[in-house]
Amino acid sequence: MTTFTEGQFDVAVIGAGHAGCEAALASARLGLNTVMLTLNLDSIAFMACNPSIGGTAKGHLVREIDALGGEMAKNADKTCLQIRMLNEGKGEAVQSLRCQCDKNAYHREMKKTLENTDNLHIVQGECKQILTENGKVTGFETTYGGVFFAKAVIVATGVYLNAETVTGEHRQKSGPSGFAAATELTESLIKLGFCIRRFKTGTPARLDGRTVNFEKCIKQNGETDVPPFSFTTEGKTENKCSCYITYTNAQTHEAILSNLDRSPLYNGDITSAGPRYCPSIETKVVRFKDKERHQIFLEPEGADTDEIYVQGLSSSMPHDVQKQMYRTVEGLENCEIMRYAYAIEYDCIDTLDILPTLEFKKVENLYTAGQINGTSGYEEAAAQGLIAGINAAFKITGKPPLILGRHEAYIGVLIDDLVTKGTEEPYRMMTSRAEYAIALRQDTADFRLTPKIADTALYTKERACAFERRKQFFEEIIAALNCRANAQKSAEFMQKYGICGGVNAVTYADLIRRGAKISDILNYFDILKDKPLSVVKTCEATVKYEGYLNKNAMQIERFKKLEEKKLPAGTDYNTISGLRLEAREKLNRVRPLTLGQAGRISGVNPADVTVLMVWLAANKKN
């Protein structure tokens, strides 16, 4: 095939899903000439699974993306149908925003944002191979012969690499929702030295909402007293739709169990690793035989469609079994399926081959982000895309990379887990993965991360204004809470709300630490009426968890000391006596940058870390 030059760019992004969009926007906004290649312009920021953003731990990621100048939070706010705060009955550390988005509007708004971004060029086509020279990336070539030269390339291909959809006995080479798969790039990645593996995910059916009896289901309304996702969004997001809850039953489970021989998950047709924390209904019924029912959420796909997403009923059963199964669920007795459920298998890489910057260890300036890195979820993908885009731009312009520590952000936990521990199944972010969860609350994301972009073009006037305003409010509120309350009123308040302790010189912060709610304090003492409630709640949590935060701070200091001890590049761990064989193998495989990272590698124990510390000290003396 005759090749021709399409253009010269600083950064090239392959893929336009949630990772690709954030990567391209970050690079372009930082002033680099950027091109983004997509298989189909209609699949830009496409929500192939649930059209929702956020959720437990994922909401933390979205607000961190926003704090670093990303787009996902803004786009979610623009296209929100319903917003809620999850885990409100638990501590603030695990509370997370979640919104149901308008699927088509989300795509349109993100596409519009991309099209109106300076320095960004969007092209439809399929990547055939990554081009390199002397161990350094030089660009990529498309299947039609177009060559895009670039100083850095970010591969964000999602679930499209050699994708195949599976439903019952039917297997088809296809990306999600009928979009074409990317069939040629995997071979190029293998030649470059990537270790390729096969993962699986799936999606439930979409129903015609006009055929659902919602009166038999439990209505779930949105909430009006929660903040938007983006720190720059003014006001509150509007709730436009309701979601509903129903349950499977014995009939549903019987329909599944009696047809397991036709399930690709159980007849051997699907052998790839699937998501542990988002299993198919077949897996749930088989694995949890003691459960009489499983919860199902009926969620709107958009304001301009009657399609209903059936969260909790993901399946790869044949169509006839799906119809039988769905119609056993209360409220769905007469449902009509508009899009049948399916499983999808795709190629991804072993993330032990990438650095904490998301750069490939074997080819300079080649980055990967999103589901090609073995993660699941829009939020995990967007977070990686943003970091890859920033780091590609920073490297080209000679700036130090942005590497977030586990103590700084959920994004830091996500990437560290991938590059240090790897993953044998689609990775999902959870609050339990973060050792310093109390210090990483979603409401403090801007305070933690926005200063890191303060000297870049990502720190726009809009963001600077929002950040400085919130910071000023925070400082003023904390100062007010540390003021002494009127002794007589304090005594009356404590008696009314059952608060124990002395009343002399008691501050509002003392009352919070003793268990008082900020809402009761505001009403009783008539204070802080002119301050934003979202910032007031952030101050409440900061005061309430002050002791834990101080303890966290001490743990983080110890953690940072290990992170500051750099391990020499190119170290042959086989030559270090005292290391166990498994530790040598794992250390040579991962090539950790620091002693702290070495200690987090599976198979490296504290005794091995001690050996490394002694070896480092001896090397310094020599």
3-class secondary-structure state, position 174? coil
Residue 76 located in a structural domain = no
Whether residue 598 sits in one domain with residue 511: no
Whether residue 546 sits in one domain with residue 571: no
State the chain's maximal CA–CA distance in angstroms.
87
How many domains does the structure of the chain reveal?
3
Whether residue 577 sits in one domain with residue 543: no
Question: What does 7-41 look like in DSSP terms, one character per residue?
Answer: EEEEEEEE--SHHHHHHHHHHHHTT--EEEEES-G
pLDDT band at 374 (very low <50, low <70, confident <90, very high): very high
Residue 186 located in a structural domain = no
Residue at a domain's end among 552, 579, 606:
552
Query: Angle 583-584-588 (CA atoms, 0-180°, nearest 5)?
Result: 115
Residue 602 located in a structural domain = yes
386's tokens = 């943003």
Amino acid letter, 488: Q
Whether residue 606 sits in one domain with residue 511: no
- What is the DSSP secondary structure assignment for residue 314, as one 8-state letter? -
Question: pLDDT tens across 125-160, in order?
Answer: 999 999 999 999 999 999 999 999 999 999 999 999
Query: Angle 353-357-359 (CA atoms, 0-180°, nearest 5)?
Result: 45
Measure Cα distances from 164 to 43, 129, 319 in Å: 17, 20, 17
Residue at a domain's end among 291, 319, 342:
342
Mean pLDDT, the chain, rounded, equals: 95
- pLDDT at res. 477: 96
pTM for the model:
0.96
Question: pLDDT tens across 47-69, in order?
Answer: 999 999 999 999 999 999 999 99
Whether residue 507 sits in one domain with residue 585: no
Q: Are 51 and 210 in contact (CB under 8 A)?
A: no
Whether residue 323 sits in one domain with residue 233: yes
User: 577 lies in which domain range?
Assistant: 565-621
Question: What does 401-437 look like in DSSP terms, one character per residue?
Answer: P----TTT-HHHHHHHIIIII--SS-B---GGG-TTG
- pLDDT at res. 617: 87
Q: Are 292 and 248 in contact (CB under 8 A)?
A: no
- pLDDT at res. 619: 81
Question: pLDDT tens across 83-99, in order?
Answer: 999 998 888 999 999 99
CATH code of the domain in which 576 resides: 1.10.150.570
Whether residue 598 sits in one domain with residue 518: no
End-to-end CA distance of the chain: 57
Amino acid letter, 583: A
CATH code of the domain in which 507 resides: 1.10.10
Tell me how far apart the alpha carbons of residues 29 and 4 are, in angstroms, rounded to a whole number. Answer: 28
Tell me how far apart the alpha carbons of residues 32 and 391 are, in angstroms, rounded to a whole number. Answer: 12
Whether residue 306 sits in one domain with residue 228: yes
Residue 456 located in a structural domain = no
- pLDDT at res. 621: 60
Question: What does 214-271 look like in DSSP terms, one character per residue?
Answer: GGGSEEE---SSS--SSTT--S-PPP---EEEEE--HHHHHHHHTTGGG-TTTSSS--
Residue 147 located in a structural domain = no
Residue 453 located in a structural domain = no
Over residues 207-235, the mean pLDDT reads 95
Residue at a domain's end among 316, 342, 368:
342
Neighbours of 613 (CB within 10 A): 15
CATH code of the domain in which 272 resides: 2.40.30.260
Question: pLDDT tens across 468-513, in order?
Answer: 999 999 999 999 999 998 888 888 899 888 888 888 889 999 999 9
Whether residue 247 sits in one domain with residue 330: yes
Torsion angles phi and psi, residue 265, rounded to 5: -75, -20
Residue 227 located in a structural domain = yes
Residue 230 located in a structural domain = yes
Whether residue 577 sits in one domain with residue 545: no
Query: Angle 189-192-195 (CA atoms, 0-180°, nearest 5)?
Result: 60
Question: pLDDT tens across 364-373, in order?
Answer: 999 999 999 9
Beta 52-54 vs 34-38: how paired, if at all?
unpaired
Whether residue 325 sits in one domain with residue 222: yes
